[in-house]
Amino acid sequence: LREALAAHLAVARGVQCQADQIIIVAGAQAGFDLAARLLLNPGDLAWIEEPGYFGARYAFQNAGIQLALVRVNSKEGLEVLAGKTEFPQARLAIVTPSHQFPTGVTMSLAQRLALLEWANQTGAWIIEDDYDSEFRFGGRPLEALQGLDKGRHVLYVGTFSKVLFPALRLGYLVVPPALVDAFLKLRRFVDTQPPILDQMVVAEFIEEGHFLRHIRRMRQIYKSRRDVLVEMLQSQLRGLIGVSKPEAGMHLVGWLAPGMDDQQVAKQAAAKGLEVVPISSLSLLPPTRAGLMLGYAAVDEKKIRVGVSTLSEILIKLKPLV
């Protein structure tokens, strides 16, 4: 599996590694957990995207790490300069540069280079969570941060949860050569190893070409679902929700008008059988904008249409008076 992954990641993501730099783990979550314990000491400070992924946040908090919340903006992603100014002593940054979770922003080249320069100057580690980058619909294909850095400060985290299915519980870390033994040792005493039978099946799936065919097929399906959702939101919820077409991934964010309460919208949607995630629930600082994370990958076009109508009924009633 490690050999199949090394070959795939080199071509698909520009990740530079040998097979033995890959540590197979039980999903990205297990990777965050190992990295948090191994790279830092309790009390150390780590940059974390705000808003951001709760799974990574909990893993680091669990290991006694202090979170340094660094805002993400809608143009360039992580605000590296703010991180450097407010938390210069941080020893690590956890980022989702290809498709920021949850905002969907792709980190600009300028911010990527600034982040790598910070790591270079301070000796900090970067954890690149590349959770759904296989599904890129347009724009320039983006090389992983790990490849840009040549794997010196960046640990790349991948998962089969999005590209195949989450119940598989298989993911991987790509670590610098000097860290391989320490990671293997820690994993050995935490988890022994993820199931070998599952690993063999996935390895064959990749080697026989099914994996690439699956990615190509799903990319088309997700792209058309994204298009339907964007078009429906733009035509039915004009003035109530702001969307930009994401270039990648399985979800988008619908930004709400100022003054709207995203938690209230989500609660009312849940009562009508529609699951949307309020951006404020993924934020630890007061959010700059209210918004809803809307997943489109697991729902067909008919359900997307029903979902948008439900959301429209709710938003029209809650619209703030001007």
Binding site for ligand PLP (CB under 6 A): 27-29, 53, 55, 96, 101, 129, 131, 159, 161, 166, 171
Nearest approach, Cβ of residue 304 and ligand PLP (Å): 20
Return the amino acid letter for 126.
Answer: I
Determine the 3-state secondary structure of 126 from DSSP: strand
CB of 319 to ligand PLP, least distance (A): 30
Taking the complex as a whole, the smallest distance from the CB of residue 163 to ligand PLP amounts, in Å, to: 10
Instruction: Sort strands 92-95 and 77-78 into parallel, antiparallel or unpaired.
Output: unpaired
63 Rama sector, left if φ>0, alpha if ψ -120 to 50, beta otherwise? alpha
Please list, in sequence order, all residues whose beta carbon lies within 8 angstroms of the beta carbon of residue 230, skipping any fewer than 6 positions away: 243, 245, 252
- Cβ atoms of 318 and 260 within 8 Å: the answer is yes
Query: Which CB sits closer to ligand PLP, 240 or 292?
Result: 292
Q: What is the dihedral sign for C-alpha 58, 172, 90, 111? A: negative
Helix, strand, coil shares, percent, the chain, to 5? 45, 15, 35
Which lies closer to ligand PLP via its Cβ, residue 32 or residue 205? Answer: 32
Residues 119, 127: contact at Cβ < 8 Å? no
Of 131 and 205, nearer to ligand PLP (C-beta) is 131
- Closest to ligand PLP by CB, 129 vs 134, is 129
Q: How far is the CB of 168 from ligand PLP (least distance, A)?
A: 9
Bridge partners (DSSP) of residue 255 are 242, 291
Closer to ligand PLP at the Cβ: 29 or 268? 29
Residue 249 C-beta: closest distance to ligand PLP, Å: 9
Toward ligand PLP, which CB reaches closer, 4 or 240?
4
CB of 67 to ligand PLP, least distance (A): 15
Q: How far is the CB of 305 from ligand PLP (least distance, A)?
A: 25
98 DSSP 8-state letter: S
- Taking the C-alpha atoms of residue 233 and residue 294, their distance in angstroms, rounded to an integer, is 11
For the CB of residue 93, give the shortest distance to ligand PLP in the complex, in Å: 14
**Cα–Cα dist 208/201, whole Å:** 11
Q: What are the backbone dihedrals phi and psi of residue 160, each rounded to the nearest 5 degrees, phi first?
A: -95, 5
Tell me how crowded residue 137 is: count the other CB atoms within 10 A of its CB. Answer: 16
Tell me whether residue 16 or residue 159 sits nearer to ligand PLP (CB atom).
Answer: 159
Ramachandran angles phi, psi of 81, nearest 5°: -65, -40
Nearer to ligand PLP, 88 or 166 (CB): 166
